[in-house]
Amino acid sequence: MFEREYGIGIIGNGHYVPKNVVTNEMIEAWTGVPAANIEAKIGIKTRFVVDDDESASSMSYKAAQLAISKSGIDVKEIGLIIVCSFTGDYVFPAMACKVQDLIGATNAGALRLNGELHKLSGGIVSCIGPHEG
């Protein structure tokens, strides 16, 4: 279906943002701290908050479903799942394994990277490695 020179590629991406929004004005009403001061100090205007039934893995699952849909591949073609998060559901098993199970990627390896987004780019480079070409 897809011809890949190296057999490695990112062919789909997905995202998920919780639907609940908390604004600085809401925080001002709760705390009395002016909304303008909150933005000036931390640079944030709004936050997105999960529902009680949502978790890091459920949000990852929704993002993965979108990525798979956009890629046009069968989930069985996925070779590796990389999950990078400070906020996994629990320490063990790795959240990457849970996402692998949730999406049904039975042929994929699962790699957890603990850390923020810059760790993800490093993880991708580590998995791909140097290629001659």
Per domain, the residue ranges of the chain are: 13-54, 73-133
Confidence of residue 35 (pLDDT cuts 50, 70, 90): very high
Q: What per-residue confidence (pLDDT) applies to 41?
A: 96
Average pLDDT (103-121) is 81
- Which residues have a Cβ under 8 Å from the Cβ of 123 and sit 6 or more positions away? 82, 84, 111, 113
Q: What per-residue confidence (pLDDT) applies to 132?
A: 47
Lowest mean pLDDT among 1-10, 12-21, 33-42, 49-58: 1-10
Q: Which residues pair with 46 in a beta bridge?
A: 23
Report pLDDT digits (tens) over 58-87. 999 999 999 999 999 999 999 888 888 888
Give the Cα separation of 90 and 73 in Å (integer). Answer: 30
Q: What per-residue confidence (pLDDT) applies to 27?
A: 97
Give Cα separations from 47 to 18, 30, 44, 65, 87 (angstroms).
9, 15, 8, 23, 16
